Amino acid sequence: MARPRARIERAIRAYLPLPNWSTRPSFYGRERFTYVPGRDVHLCPQGQELPKRVPKQTDHAHLSQARAEVCNACPVKSSCTESRKGRTILRPFDQAYIERVRLYHETAACRSAISKRKVWVEPLFAEAKTLHGLRRFRLRGIEKVNMEGLMTAAGQNIKRLIRHQGTGSPLQSLAFLAALSIRILSRLFRPTALNQAPSFSLAS
């Protein structure tokens, strides 16, 4: 959760949705476990400790795991986990920042910002995914992914510029060529690009 951390460190309130880890379909959710900051451990509903293990760098989180013999002998194990290795809990590296952002969710300003996001931002994401091939990134590495995303956003902005100027405006031809170029380049990111002919439409 690098985004909330970066914004908070710059004194910017991060009004953005956060994942809900509190519920699990069939087992105890993470909210049933108590985190003890002074000892840096989690306590399960039965009061047993989940010692901290090696951090999971891929999940950007600390891993706590109960001892297998304790879990397997627990009378409520069927409600907690089906693993015979012991119940695990992940605590993100930036959990303190995430908790601060969750406090913002209780404010009217945050609720208003989230409502605006649904109208202003989310439709653009949906358009990029369904019409511009951004359902998944074709490149690897943060710099290349940023480039791919920015090219898609540029194409979206050019389409809106054309619609705003109207047909026959001096900027239409230039904007159309720029948008077409971006569309062609974006298709080069796709594995099947060699077998597809680039196309562009003001409606897409």
- Structural domain boundaries in the chain: 2-104, 121-195
| Rounded mean pLDDT, 91-116 | 82
Confidence class of residue 5 from pLDDT cuts 50, 70 and 90?
A: low
Q: Residue 80: how many CB atoms within 10 A of its CB?
A: 21
Higher pLDDT, 88 or 1: 88
Tokens 């399960």 belong to: 44
Confidence class of residue 87 from pLDDT cuts 50, 70 and 90?
A: very high
Give per-residue pLDDT as tens, 165-187: 666 666 556 656 666 666 655 55
Q: Give yes or no for residue 43 having a pLDDT over 90.
A: yes
pTM beyond 0.75: the answer is no
- Residue 174: per-residue pLDDT: 61
- Residue 196: per-residue pLDDT: 41
Q: Give yes or no for residue 29 having a pLDDT over 70.
A: yes
Percent of the chain with pLDDT over 70: 71
Mean pLDDT of the chain: 76
Whether 33 and 42 have beta carbons less than 8 Å apart is answered as yes
Whether 42 and 35 have beta carbons less than 8 Å apart is answered as yes
Give per-residue pLDDT as tens, 48-72: 999 888 888 888 888 999 999 999 9
Q: Give yes or no for residue 38 having a pLDDT over 60.
A: yes
Alpha-carbon gap, residue 162 to 181, rounded angstroms: 15
